[in-house]
Amino acid sequence: DVTWDKAGNIYVADGIGTNNRIAKFDKDGRFITHWGSTGSGQGQFDGVKGIAIDAQGNAVGIEIVRIVRWVCRRGDPLESRQ
């Protein structure tokens, strides 16, 4: 899944294989950073399949196991909900 923030940065939910991360690119497609890894702990994903940007500019990763994990623009974990 792919989404954009107000500045034009691109966020990709990369849950293929063992990646389970969110990758961030600038508006020209240059890689900036990524966060997340495979697991069930804080800042980890178990099958990340969706991505959205909330009203505060935080990236929201959505997993197939119905857990939603919020991360801020810097990639720091904020919270998880089932």
Per-residue pLDDT of the chain (82 residues; tens, 9 = 90+): 899 999 999 999 988 878 888 899 999 999 999 988 888 777 788 888 888 888 888 887 777 665 555 555 555 555 554 4
Assessment of whether the complete model's pTM goes beyond 0.85 = no
Q: How many whole angstroms from its chain centre is CA 77?
A: 10
